[in-house]
Amino acid sequence: MGGPEIDHLIGLLAKLPGMGPRSARRAALKMLQQPETRMLPLAAALTEAARRVRPCADCGNLDSQDPCTICADPHRDRSMICVVEGVGDLWALERAMVYHGLYHVLRGTLSPLSGIGPEDLNVATLLSRITEGDVTEVILALGATVDGAATAHWLTDQLHPTGVTVTRVGQGVPMGGALDVLDDGTLAAALRTRRAN
Amino acid sequence: MGGPEIDHLIGLLAKLPGMGPRSARRAALKMLQQPETRMLPLAAALTEAARRVRPCADCGNLDSQDPCTICADPHRDRSMICVVEGVGDLWALERAMVYHGLYHVLRGTLSPLSGIGPEDLNVATLLSRITEGDVTEVILALGATVDGAATAHWLTDQLHPTGVTVTRVGQGVPMGGALDVLDDGTLAAALRTRRAN
């Protein structure tokens, strides 16, 4: 309709999570109508982020500085490391503003079916951070999946020799959640972790 | 969480049609994990489109060539011009592959409430295209809104002196549409335009 440039742009936009061909066309059209104020700033932001953002050598968080903003923050509690599967989980915890320790991004979980073994995870630096630093507790905040549980179990074994306390985030009824829509596993976990009120 | 570059990128992505803060974060994260294969190609496609794509001086379509691919196509029927409000409408008609004439993009409708008058629409070139070319029919494919109807009425008056035949696209029950969910205006139009079967 409007040359290969437009089709190519729509094709790339459609591959973004949450976008499809229809929304990609709408986004492309909106930007094409304001190239200076919409397209070029986004192009520059993408180029800049691709150029500057790298995984933190300490924790694996994505940041334009290394060590990352969190690892470099003197106000962070250095006695705790929260282990997450991915940077998206780290972002979610930061948005919740409920945790003030350090993080460690595992970059996945053990998954024999997908061929992901211990050597594919960001574990070696976790062990060296614990032995070299002042860490007293490692909180495993992995997904409540079979692979997440297996990884938590395996990590607990790996961390045992360091003497650090290893905990896992609680499982149960999410805030605002109705019981009748929860799966059996969550209901079982909620009952198992019941507390005196 | 990861420096100003990431926040800035998420902010721009969230402004795209169909995206929100949540999908913008997911898209940014996915791209940050594959900067070479995902971010830089999108940045290049945006830059290239912003640099090359311009409105066609004849019809107002967005294209990297001027006259646009459609205006320049010798296989197009030059006796018909289909007038649309925007390039998105032109794209929709092209995808449907039901029309083989030329187009004219009006860039909006008359809208006294929004302060859009005749001088804001791409009308002068439409009149010169009709007087200079071999156009015998102008099809008004404007939205079935109050502004669309008012614009169609006004355009019909403007085109009257040229002697060209002016038609409007039909209104009625959309394909696959159930009658009980249609609004009264569509039902009235469908009854009004009933045909012998």
CATH code for position A147? 3.40.1360.10
Binary contact (B91, A29; C-beta < 8 A)? yes
DSSP-assigned states of every residue in B150-172: HHHHHHHHHHGGGT-EEEE---S
* Model confidence pLDDT, tens digit, residues B71-105: 999 999 999 999 999 999 999 889 888 899 999 99
CA distance linking residue B37 with residue B42, whole number of Å: 9
| A32 Cα to chain B: minimum distance (Å) | 7
Query: In which domain, by residue range, is A46 found?
Result: 4-52
- pLDDT at position A10: 95
- Residue A12 pLDDT exceeds 90: yes
CA distance linking residue A108 with residue A103, whole number of Å: 14
* Rama region for A184: left / alpha / beta (φ>0; ψ in -120 to 50; rest): alpha
Average of per-residue pLDDT across A50-71:
95
Average of per-residue pLDDT across A96-104:
92
B146 and B92 within one domain: yes
Q: What is the mean pLDDT of chain A?
A: 91
B155 and B107 within one domain: yes
What is the 8-class DSSP label of residue A61? -
* Model confidence pLDDT, tens digit, residues B10-62: 999 999 988 999 999 999 999 999 999 999 999 999 999 999 999 999 999 99
Binary contact (B43, A41; C-beta < 8 A)? no
State the residue for tokens 């940045």.
B43
CB distance from A102 to chain B under 8 Å?
A: no
- Residue A87 falls within a domain, yes or no? yes
B86 and B43 within one domain: no
Q: Is B196 helix (H, G, I), strand (E, B) or coil?
A: coil
CB distance from A103 to chain B under 8 Å?
A: no
- Residue B197 pLDDT exceeds 70: no
Share of chain A above pLDDT 70, in %: 98
- Residue B87 falls within a domain, yes or no? yes
Q: How many domains does chain B have?
A: 2
Least confident residue range of A24-28, A72-76, A125-129, B181-185: B181-185
Closest by Cβ to B50, choosing from A35, A65, A91: A35
Orientation of helix B4-14 relative to helix B21-33, angle to 10°:
130
Q: Identify whether the C-beta of residue B61 lies closer than 8 Å to the C-beta of residue B103.
A: yes
* Model confidence pLDDT, tens digit, residues B114-162: 999 999 999 999 999 999 988 999 999 988 888 999 999 999 999 999 9
CA distance linking residue B33 with residue A55, whole number of Å: 9
* Model confidence pLDDT, tens digit, residues A143-175: 888 899 999 999 999 999 999 999 988 888 887
Task: Determine the residue among B12, B22, B31, B42 to mutate to test chain A binding: the one whose Cβ has the most chain A Cβ atoms within 10 Å.
Answer: B42
- pLDDT at position B1: 66
- Residue B59 falls within a domain, yes or no? no
- Residue A112 pLDDT exceeds 90: no
CB distance from A16 to chain B under 8 Å?
A: yes
- Residue B64 falls within a domain, yes or no? no
- Residue A62 pLDDT exceeds 80: yes
- pLDDT at position A1: 66
